[in-house]
Amino acid sequence: MQSFATTFTSPDSSAPYIGRFAPSPTGALHFGSLVAAVGSYLDARTHGGRWLLRIEDVDAPRSVPGAAEGIIATLARFGFEWDGEIVRQSRRSAAYEAALDTLKAAGHAYPCVCTRRELVGQPLARDGSRRYPGTCRGGLAPRREGRAWRVRADGVIHFDDAVQGPQEIDLAADAGDYVVRRADGLFAYQLAVVVDDAEAGVTHVVRGADLLDSTARQIHLLGLLGAPVPAYAHLPLATNAAGEKLSKQTLARAIDEHPPQAALLAALRFLGQNPPGTLAGAPLAELWRWAQAHWSIAAVPHCRQAVADGSF
């Protein structure tokens, strides 16, 4: 049984803080991603920490040409300042391959021939995927060759999320053995995010609560790879009035269509901060100064999702 008690360091802690924002370039930045960018940025800066930017284009077929550049330009226009080089997952296959080799060599990963169709009827995991029943766990039938790779997932993961509170996930009962390399040869998000965060020395992960259900698998993988586990804070996910996650699919407007001040103030309010309305007409630098001076993660609503202001 694995248990991880991760806690947020206090702003005066001497431990170096490394945070990050890791958008997937599947379209323009929308309000939901802006909320994650603002929360992770302010938390890093108020801890005197570094804030890294990583483009999560590991799923190349889902990446939209030009979207990464658009997101980077929007962040710059909104006054975000990231540290160091921007990392792009599409250029990091060698690192993912090495991590997979480590998992294979230790017997943690095994090949799998199951198709998605074969899993229909299995119970749903918290993230909506089908729980894997372990069909290929004991080895493949002769002459069958697995194209996907899964990791054996046993144990209960505990972690204390700075916004969502204590979490307990039984890996086998939830998603079961999970995919780290897909049948199409692409590395799975779970593997890429863990390898990237570990290599960059990320100490604090602040992101949307849609990823809360992935966190147990990521903590599990970090353990198998011998990497330290960061502290987590999952911010409420912004939805439309129908309760759907804001995204290109739900026709969320690009955040670029709004004045930066108005969008940033809306993101701060969504995060439970209480910025004065006068900042709407102030220079961006003044807005950021106020936000850093007043940021409080304790004020972020403790819910998994919340309805965004209708104009977003």
Residues found near ligand GLU in the complex (CB under 6 A): 22-24, 56, 193, 207, 211
Q: Measured from the CB of residue 200, what is the shortest distance to ligand GLU in angstroms?
A: 12
Whichever of 23 and 236 has its CB closer to ligand GLU, that residue is 23
As measured in angstroms, the least distance from the Cβ of 147 to ligand GLU is: 24
Residue 207: CB minimum distance to ligand GLU, A: 4
- Which amino acid does the sequence have at 80? F
Nearer to ligand GLU, 228 or 281 (CB): 228
Judged by beta carbon, residue 220 or residue 290, the one nearer ligand GLU is: 220
Q: Specify the DSSP element, H or E, that contains 223.
A: helix 212-224
Pick from 311, 297, 247: nearest CA to 38: 297
- Residue 279 C-beta: closest distance to ligand GLU, Å: 27
Place of tokens 């997937």: 24
Give the H or E element holding residue 284: helix 284-294
Of 54 and 108, which has the nearer Cβ to ligand GLU? 54
Q: With respect to ligand GLU, which residue has the nearer C-beta, 22 or 162? A: 22
- On whether the CB atoms of residues 259 and 41 are closer than 8 A, the answer is no
Between 80 and 110, CB nearer to ligand GLU: 80
| 45 within 8 A of 297, measured Cβ to Cβ | no
The least CB distance from residue 295 to ligand GLU, in Å, is: 19
Q: CB of 79: closest distance to ligand GLU in angstroms?
A: 20
* C-alpha 15, offset from chain centre: 22
Backbone angles phi, psi at 253, to 5 degrees: -75, 145
Helix axes 189-200, 93-105, angle to 10 degrees: 100
d(CA 294, CA 272): 11
Question: CA dihedral defined by 159, 162, 165, 168, rounded to 10 degrees?
Answer: -10
Q: Compare residues 207 and 220 and give the one whose CB is closer to ligand GLU.
A: 207
Do residues 206 and 161 touch, judged by C-beta distance below 8 A? Answer: no
Smallest separation (angstroms) from ligand GLU to the CB of 56: 4
Helix 189-200 with 212-224: angle, nearest 10 deg: 60
| CA-closest candidate to residue 4, choices 222, 255, 194 | 222
